[in-house]
C-alpha cells in the first residue's frame, strides 16, 4: 500500500492520525487501501507536544484523525498542532476527523457566566487551518452550525442497529430513550428496526454532576427485550438508573447501545455488576484493556469513516451518510 491516493484529476489524498487511538487510524487506512502518512510525534518533558510529517503534503487533500480520548486536552492540542503543521506545509485542504467531538456536551449556556466550549472547539480548529470537520453522532445537531465550513455528521446507528437485529427478534423488541434529550435518536432506531418506542423521564440534580433521578416510564416494556440507546456512556449513572427502571416495570432483558464509550470512573463496575446483558459501543474512542469486560461488545467505525473520506475526496455525495448511512 502507498501513503497517498490519487484520482484522475491528479489530486492527492493523505491520511494521518494522532497518538490517541492508533488502532483506529490503522483500521481506517486499511479500509482506504493506503498507509498512514509517516508522522513523528512526542511529548517534551514539560508536557509540550511536537509533531512532524515525514513526507511532503504540498497540494494534497489531507485528512487528520484524532480521537478525543483521555487525557482529552492533550489529544485535542495534538490534533490542533497537526492541523497547523499541515497548513504550514501547504496542504491544499485539511479535513479534521474527530470521531467523538470533545466538549460536545458544553453546547449551550445552562447558567450565567458559563462557556460554550463546543463552539470554542470549532473556532480553534478553524483558526488552526481546518477546512472541514467530520464527526460521528454529535451530542446535539446544533454543533454543526458552530464551525464556519462543511461539517460531515456521520451516524453509527445503522451499524449498531444491524448488530442488534442479529441478537433480538424484532417482534419482542422495544427501543428506549433514557431521557427526553435522546428521544429523536430513539425514534430513528424505532423506525429503523420497526420496534415500538418507550421513554424514561428523568431529572438531573444540578448541584451534583452525573447524578440523575428517574421519574416515570412512558411505553410498554413488560416482558420485552429493551434496547437503551444513547450517544455516549460516561460514568454509566444514567444508563444504570434507566435499566433499573425498565426491570422494575417488567422488562425481560436490557441491552445498551451507544456510540461513544467514555467509560469514566465507576462505569465499568456499574455496567459489569448490573442486570444489563450486553453493552454495545463503537471504537470511536480507545478502550484500554482494564476498561474491557465480558458484557462489552465493540464495533468498528473504520469502514464508515473510510467511506466518508472517499466521498469527500472524490467530490461525491455524503447525503447518504447524513441519512443513516444507507
Q: Which residues are catalytic?
A: 202
By the 8 A CB rule, do 131 and 149 touch?
yes
By the 8 A CB rule, do 32 and 21 touch?
no
Four-residue CA torsion sign, 325, 137, 308, 292 = negative
> N- to C-terminal Cα distance for the chain?
28
CA dihedral defined by 296, 230, 130, 300, rounded to 10 degrees? 30
Helix (H, G, I), strand (E, B) or coil at 59: coil
DSSP letter string, 116-168: -HHHHHHHHHHHHT-SEEEEES-SSGGGGGGSSS-EEEE--HHHHHHHHHHHS
Count of Cβ atoms closer than 10 Å to residue 299 Cβ? 17
**How distant, in Å, are the alpha carbons of 78, 93, 139, 156 from that of 67?**
10, 20, 15, 15
What stretch of H or E contains 173? Answer: strand 173-177
Q: DSSP character for 36? A: P
- What span, in angstroms and rounded, lies between the C-alpha atoms of 82 and 20? 13
The C-alpha cell at 109 is 449556556
Sequence-distant (6+) residues with CB within 8 A of 287 are 261, 263, 281, 296, 298
Amino acid at each position: 500500500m502507498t501513503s497517498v491516493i490519487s484520482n484522475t484529476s491528479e489530486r492527492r489524498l493523505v491520511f494521518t492520525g494522532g497518538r490517541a487511538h492508533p488502532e483506529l487510524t490503522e483500521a481506517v487506512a486499511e479500509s482506504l487501501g493506503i498507509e498512514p502518512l509517516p508522522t513523528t510525534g512526542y511529548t517534551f518533558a514539560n508536557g509540550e507536544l511536537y509533531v512532524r510529517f515525514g513526507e511532503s503534503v504540498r497540494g494534497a487533500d489531507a485528512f487528520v484523525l484524532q480521537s478525543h480520548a483521555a487525557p482529552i486536552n492533550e489529544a485535542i492540542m495534538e490534533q490542533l498542532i497537526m492541523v497547523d503543521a499541515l497548513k504550514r506545509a501547504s496542504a491544499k485542504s485539511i479535513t479534521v476527523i474527530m470521531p467523538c467531538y470533545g466538549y460536545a456536551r458544553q453546547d449551550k449556556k445552562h447558567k450565567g457566566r458559563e462557556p460554550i466550549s463546543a463552539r470554542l472547539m470549532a473556532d480553534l480548529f478553524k483558526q488552526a487551518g481546518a477546512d472541514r470537520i467530520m464527526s460521528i453522532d454529535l451530542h446535539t445537531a446544533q454543533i454543526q452550525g458552530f464551525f464556519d465550513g462543511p461539517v460531515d455528521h456521520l451516524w453509527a446507528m445503522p451499524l449498531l442497529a444491524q448488530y442488534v437485529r442479529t441478537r433480538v427478534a424484532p417482534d419482542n423488541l422495544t427501543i428506549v430513550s433514557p431521557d427526553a434529550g435522546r428521544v429523536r435518536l430513539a425514534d430513528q432506531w424505532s423506525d429503523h428496526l420497526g420496534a415500538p418506542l418507550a421513554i424514561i423521564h428523568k431529572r438531573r440534580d444540578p448541584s451534583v454532576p452525573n447524578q440523575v433521578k428517574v421519574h416515570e416510564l412512558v411505553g410498554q416494556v413488560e416482558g420485552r427485550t429493551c434496547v437503551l440507546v444513547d450517544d455516549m456512556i460516561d460514568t454509566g449513572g444514567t444508563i444504570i438508573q434507566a435499566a433499573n427502571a425498565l426491570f422494575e416495570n417488567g422488562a425481560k432483558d436490557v441491552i445498551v447501545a451507544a456510540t461513544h464509550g467514555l467509560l469514566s470512573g465507576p462505569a465499568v463496575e456499574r455496567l459489569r455488576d448490573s442486570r444489563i446483558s450486553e453493552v454495545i459501543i463503537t471504537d470511536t474512542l480507545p478502550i484500554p484493556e482494564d476498561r474491557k469486560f465480558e458484557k462489552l461488545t465493540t464495533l468498528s467505525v473504520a469502514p464508515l469513516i473510510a467511506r466518508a473520506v472517499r466521498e469527500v475526496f472524490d467530490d461525491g455525495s455524503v447525503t447518504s451518510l447524513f441519512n443513516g448511512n444507507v
